[in-house]
Amino acid sequence: MKKIIYTKNAPEAVGPYSQAVETNGTLYISGQIPINPLNGKIVEGGIKEQTEQVMKNIEAILKKAGYTFDNVVKSTCLLDDMDNFAAMNEVYAKYYNTNPPARAAFGVVKLPLGVKIEIETIATK
């Protein structure tokens, strides 16, 4: 049975999808972009500030579902410019300082709302 996960501490979906879905002990978090849930606006700044907001959004969803970053098994990072990879990685690493998940990172042509980064996440219990 699938359970829809929603928290006001992460951005509202900007399309026909859920923030996250949990099924059979696995949590699938939709790609998170750097929207501040308090005002609905994209955070100002560069890739570091945007990555920080994305990770905070993921953390809020994990918490709502009863998970932590320790439960994350896979991340997919989408960057609008692979030249930002090292700076993104610096922020990302703060959240996974031990036993980090598997990960893929891709450079893409364009992301929703003109953001620099989007990260989707899978966690298990």
3-state secondary structure 61-88: HHHHHCCCHHHEEEEEEEECCHHHHHHH
Q: How many CB atoms lie within 10 A of CB 38?
A: 9
Residue 48 confidence (pLDDT):
98
SS3 114: helix
The residue ranges of the chain whose pLDDT is under 50 are none
Residue 122 confidence (pLDDT):
98
Give the predicted TM-score (pTM) of the model. 0.97
SS3 95: helix
Q: What is the DSSP letter of 33?
A: -
Homologous superfamily, domain 2-124 = RutC-like (3.30.1330.40)
Q: How much of the chain, in percent, has pLDDT values that exceed 70? A: 100
State the DSSP string of 39-61: TTEEPPSSHHHHHHHHHHHHHHH
User: How far is 46 from 57, CA to CA, in rounded Å?
Assistant: 17
